[in-house]
Chains A and B, each alone.
Chain A
Amino acid sequence: MRAARQRGHGPAERHVASTRHFSTRHFSTHTASRAATRFGPALLSLALLGLALLSLALPGGEARADPTPHLAIHYLERRIERPTPLNNEDPIPDDEGARGAELGLKDSNATGRFVSLGFSLATKRVEPGADVAAAFRALGNPRFLVVNAPVEDVLALADLPEARDTLLLNIGAPDTRLRDGDCRARLLHVLPSRAMLADALVEFLVFKRWTRLLLVSGPEPADALYAEALRRSAKKFGARVVAESRFDVHGADIRDSALREFALVTRGPEHDVVAVADEANSFGTNLVHNTASPRPVVGTQGLSPAAWGRPVEAWAAVQLQGRFRKLAGRAMRPIDYAGWLAVHAIGEAAVQLRTRDPDAIRALMLSPRFEVGGFKGRPLSFRPWNGQLRQPVFLLWPGAVVASAPLEGFLHHRTDLDTLGLDAPESACRAFAGGGAG
């Protein structure tokens, strides 16, 4: 059902406007006659044929041709050159995030058509080194911008004077400082912060009474931030980092030397787990089962906290997983999930209000009464003090969901979801009207 067409702004831009399909009654109700004997393949191919004909009949790529006016959502991504993955079978897909947003669009249109609402999604990628502000200006006053970019880009976009009417939804930057002193009033965070991820992990460790951590950090600045989040969480929940070490592969092929290589950095005082902070996965997957002592590896690899992952299936998540796999031909990753949820939240707010008015939709999304479903078994909402989406965080290994945080016994006067990440009194964010008040 996806219509992807090139527009005149260069190959990095795509326009996805599935509105037009859904706004056409022609095949939205295909009623077979009572005499119909076989259903299935014939009906399906008829529908597909209809779709194909319709696509041909539409003028190329101009969203304006659609008779149903729709709400425009933009997706802006900074392309990142990534190192070769540790295992060649497991690369980070080029369309991470974008595919999630695309599914969010499909879902929103499937819902919106029942209340005469349509949505469109324009995707723009910024090449490494290119100017993100210029890319933003080329979009022409976007009112809803899903941003999949590093923290510097997110802040640069949020601070653009031209973006004063834009609601930004961060799906790519887990930096806790964006939910803290560097928060912005029109910037919502769909992706959990590193603080939320670390809190989820440490809740699990405390629940298990595995409270002594030996922390191994990689060389990247992001690794330092992840390690810092773990230290903070350990302090918050009464766990302890008993020793720390750093590890840098220095370009060597760790796959060949892992058996001996990690003995030194994982030797230390008595500990229950080896915590690893290696966001780029330059060595972490090979650390699992290669520690000096027989201890589980937790953190960026091993047992990992994440907003989403392949083993997630409860609360009808299997439905979302199935729809995503059908669309993208691969498993849904945390940033895909955030992309889906960002667009889904905009669609949900519009449907709840039955409006395309961007001001009203933005106001609802920023208000504490806004709730959205996300296949996690409970309503999700944005924290009024820093714009972070409250959500359960899964503790995953590739084979299973080990646990789901908040864990039993971790209580909060508002909702136990607020045991994850910066609570109102902890956050230095003052940009939101609801700051501190809860």
Chain B
Amino acid sequence: MTPSRTGRGRPPMRPLPFALLLIIGLVLAAGPAPAEEIFVSNERDNTVSVIDTGSFEVVRTFPVGRRPRGIVFSRDGRQLFVCASDSDAVQVIDPETGRLLHNLPSGEDPEQFALAPDNRTLFIANEENATTTVVDAETRTVLAQIDVGIEPEGMAVSPDGKTAVTTSETTNMVHWIDVPSLKAVDATPVGQRPRHAEFSRDGSKLWVSSEIGGTVAVIDVATRTVAQTIAFEIKGIAGDRIQPVGITLTRDGRFAFVALGPSDRVAVIDARTYKVLNYILVGRRVWHLAFTSDESRLLTTNGASGDVTVIDVAALKAIKSIKVGRFPWGAAVRPSAGHRSAGAAP
């Protein structure tokens, strides 16, 4: 296991020549998107790296709690929530200064979380004790702890805010939580080791990745049954190295991007036909994904190579890699003034 990212068998992802960088920089500067910031949690460094999307450089790095993983912004971009798993806390941080504002009670070993459309209810997957903790971020109180399957990981809240789901990695199920009553009401079995869940924009479909199963299930939310199972095949890569983790969907409902872990690829899927259109080579062991607000760029966190790959969404090409901390895990774009409505729910 060489830490070098020019390991054998992989096309090189060398830093782009300066001239090219300059051109990209100019194009970006001239483009419609104002620069914004993307925050990346570095699981092994206990830090967050901040990437400026004007230069696509790390502009600052600040320390957070131990083993930061899930990372999410409040709708107004003024508060950053970070799951500090080994500190057993969700930290609320001022993104401007990196200063810790306060901790939220989170239950043991928080890994991933999702913020409800009400902008205050956080659903937190507690990996070690098979529960989902529901926290009111304003009153800083625990509203409920809901028993789910073993090793809950993926968390998502439906766009209408009525349903939350968590995936349990060893139980291999999607657990459906009724938000008004805060009760687990149903469970849908999916492929081995479900990692991540993502609702479609209209709330009718739920996308769930299965890391060991090697598939993505598209679940019909109304019936809570698997409507489609998407499999992947990459020439020259053993099937069991293709391990779907992070999923992100474009707002227009056309594309889904799926991070495929140690295959070092991101799959591009037609979200209407469920056909895999392309595979994009990124860094090693790609975990999670985040769009810039205008969805022109997609950033991937590459755990094993300790960097972030920038993908040009229109061209479906990797255009840059940015060194961050060790084991970058999650990424979140900070909603800025010009884009305040972009990522927010109605």
Chain A's nearest CB lies how many Å from the CB of B135?
9
A39/B105 in contact, CB under 8 A: yes
Q: Complex: how many Å from CA A155 to CA B201?
A: 58
Is B154's CB within 8 Å of the partner chain A?
no
Instruction: Write the chain B residue with the least CB distance to A348.
Output: B172
Shortest beta-carbon distance from B295 to chain A in Å: 31
- What B residues does A322 contact at CB under 8 A? 128
Contact, CB under 8 Å: A316 / B169: yes
B-binding segment of A109-117, A178-186, A252-260: A109-117
Contact between chains at A107 and B150 (CB < 8 Å): yes
Given contacts A32-B143, A371-B192, A415-B238, contact A110 B128 (CB under 8 A): no
Contacts of B173 in A (CB 8 A): 111, 114
A31-B127 in contact (CB<8A)? no
Write out, one digit per residue, whether chain A residues 335-360 have a CB within 8 A of any chain B CB (1) or not (0).
Answer: 00000000000001001101000000
Say yes or no for A289: interface residue by CB 8 A criterion. Answer: no
Known: A110-B149, A111-B171, A316-B169. A29 touches B184 (CB 8 A): yes
Q: Give the chain A neighbours of B171 by CB distance below 8 A.
A: 110-111, 114
Most buried by A among B143, B145, B214: B145
Whether A39 lies near B192 (C-beta < 8 A) is no
A373 near B170: Cβ-Cβ < 8 Å: yes
B182 within 8 A of A: yes
Residues of the B chain whose Cβ atoms lie less than 8 Å from the Cβ of A31? 144-146, 181-183
A351–B172 contact, CB under 8 A? yes
Say yes or no for A250: interface residue by CB 8 A criterion.
no
Q: A43 to B141: give the CA distance in the assembly, Å.
A: 13
Task: Tell whether A369 is near chain B: CB-to-CB under 8 Å.
Answer: no
**Least CB distance, A342 to chain B, in whole angstroms:** 15
Q: Is B175 an interface residue (CB 8 A)?
A: yes
Q: Please give, as numbers and ranges, the residues of chain A lying within 8 Å of B142 by CB-CB distance.
A: 32, 36, 38-39
Query: Do the beta carbons of B172 and A30 come within 8 Å of each other?
Result: no
Give the distance to chain A from B15, nearest Cβ to Cβ, in Å. 25
Q: Which residues of B contact A323 (CB under 8 A)?
A: 128
Among B133, B141, B183, chain A packs the most CB atoms within 10 A around the CB of: B141
B166 to chain A, nearest CB (A): 12
Whether A319 contacts B144 by the Cβ 8 Å rule is no
* Cα separation A377 to B1 with both chains bound (whole Å): 15
Does B203 count as interface, using CB distance less than 8 angstroms?
Answer: no
**Is the CB of B151 closer than 8 A to any CB of chain A?**
yes
A371 to B193, CA, bound (A): 12
Most buried by A among B149, B214, B239: B149
- Please tell me if B77 contacts chain A, counting CB pairs below 8 Å: no
B173-192 interface with A by 8 A CB criterion: 173, 175, 181-184, 187, 189, 192
Q: Which of A29-68 contact B (CB under 8 A)?
A: 29-32, 34, 36-40, 43
Partner of A319, one of B128, B239, B241: B128
Question: In the bound complex, what is the Cα–Cα distance between A107 and B145 (angstroms)?
Answer: 19
- Chain A nearest CB from B138 CB (Å) reads 12
Most buried by B among A29, A43, A371: A29
Interchain nearest-CB distance for B242 vs A (Å) = 10
Number of residues from B at the complex interface, CB < 8 A: 43
A29 touches B183 (CB 8 A): yes
Q: Does B52 contact A (CB under 8 A)?
A: no
Is A28's CB under 8 angstroms from B147's CB?
yes
| Complex-state Cα separation, A210 to B142, whole angstroms | 57
* Cβ-defined contact, A110 with B144, below 8 A: no
A423 contacts the other chain (Cβ, under 8 Å)? no
Tell me, in angstroms, the Cα distance from A316 to B111 when the chains sit together. 12
Contact with A along B207-247 (1 / 0, CB 8 A): 00000111000000000000000000000001111010000
Render B143-170 as a binary contact track against A, CB cut-off 8 A, 1 for contact.
1111101110000000000000000111
Q: Which residues of A contact B212 (CB under 8 A)?
A: 371, 373, 377-379
Please, how many angstroms separate the alpha-carbon atoms of A377 and B128 in the complex? Answer: 18
Q: Which of A36, A43, A348 contacts B143 (CB 8 A)?
A: A36
Give the residues from 180 to 205 in chain A that come closer than 8 angstroms, CB to CB, to chain B.
none
Interface string of A1-34 (1 = CB under 8 A from B): 0000000000000000000000000001111101
Please name all residues of chain B whose beta carbon is closer than 8 Å to the beta carbon of A352 when the two chains form the complex: 189
Residues of chain B with a CB closer than 8 A to A371's CB: 192, 212-213
A111 touches which of B136, B170, B184 (Cβ 8 Å):
B170
Q: Within 8 Å CB of B183, what residues of A?
A: 29, 31
Q: Is the CB of B146 within 8 A of A379?
A: no
Which of B133, B170, B214, B238 meets A416, CB within 8 Å?
B238
Within 8 A of A (CB), among B237-274: 238-241, 243, 262
B130 at the A/B interface (Cβ < 8 Å)? Answer: yes
Q: How far is the CB of A285 from the nearest CB of chain B, in Å?
A: 27
Assuming the contacts A114-B173, A322-B128, A373-B212, asked whether A43 and B192 have C-beta atoms less than 8 A apart, the reply is no
State whether A29 touches B147 (Cβ < 8 A): yes
Establish whether residues A29 and B146, one from each chain, have CB atoms under 8 Å apart when the complex forms: yes
Residues on A with beta carbons closer than 8 Å to the beta carbon of B172:
111, 348, 351, 373
Other-chain residue from B105, B136, B213 in contact with A379 (beta carbon distance below 8 A):
B213
Pick from B169, B172, B187, B214 the residue with the most CB of A within 10 Å. Answer: B172
Q: Which residues of B contact A378 (CB under 8 A)?
A: 212, 240-241
Residues of A within 8 A of B193 (CB): 373
Contacts of A107 in B (CB 8 A): 150, 170
Please, which residue of chain B has its CB at the minimum distance from the CB of A112? B171
Chain B residues near A32 (CB-CB < 8 A): 142-145
In the complex, how many angstroms separate the beta carbon of A373 from the nearest chain B beta carbon?
5
B184 lies within 8 A of A415 (CB): no
Instruction: Tell me, in angstroms, the Cα distance from A32 to B150 when the chains sit together.
Output: 21
Rounded to whole Å, the gap between the CB of A112 and the closest CB of chain B is 9
Task: Tell me the complex Cα distance, A115–B192, Å.
Answer: 16
A377 to B243, CA, bound (A): 9
B169 touches A30 (CB 8 A): no
Residue ID in chain A nearest B151 by CB atoms: A319
Which residues of A lie under 8 Å from residue B143 when comparing CB positions? 32, 34, 36
A402 to B252, CA, bound (A): 47
Q: A36-B141, A379-B192 are in contact. List 12 more A-B contacts (CB 8 A).
A: A29-B183, A29-B184, A31-B144, A31-B145, A32-B144, A43-B145, A110-B130, A110-B149, A111-B173, A114-B171, A316-B151, A377-B243
> What 9 pairs between A and B have smallest CB-CB spacing?
A39-B142, A114-B187, A111-B171, A378-B240, A31-B144, A373-B192, A373-B212, A28-B147, A110-B150
List 29 A-B residue pairs with CB atoms under 8 Å apart, sorted by A's residue number. A31-B144, A31-B181, A34-B143, A36-B142, A39-B107, A39-B133, A43-B145, A110-B130, A114-B175, A114-B187, A319-B151, A348-B172, A351-B189, A371-B192, A371-B213, A373-B170, A373-B172, A373-B192, A373-B193, A377-B212, A378-B212, A379-B192, A379-B212, A379-B213, A379-B240, A403-B1, A415-B239, A415-B240, A416-B238
A residues with a Cβ closer than 8 A to B are 28-32, 34, 36-40, 43, 107, 110-111, 114-115, 316, 319, 322-323, 348, 351-352, 354, 371-373, 377-379, 403, 408, 415-416
Chain B residues close to A by CB (< 8 Å): 1, 8, 105, 107, 127-128, 130, 133, 136, 141-147, 149-151, 168-173, 175, 181-184, 187, 189, 192-193, 212-214, 238-241, 243, 262
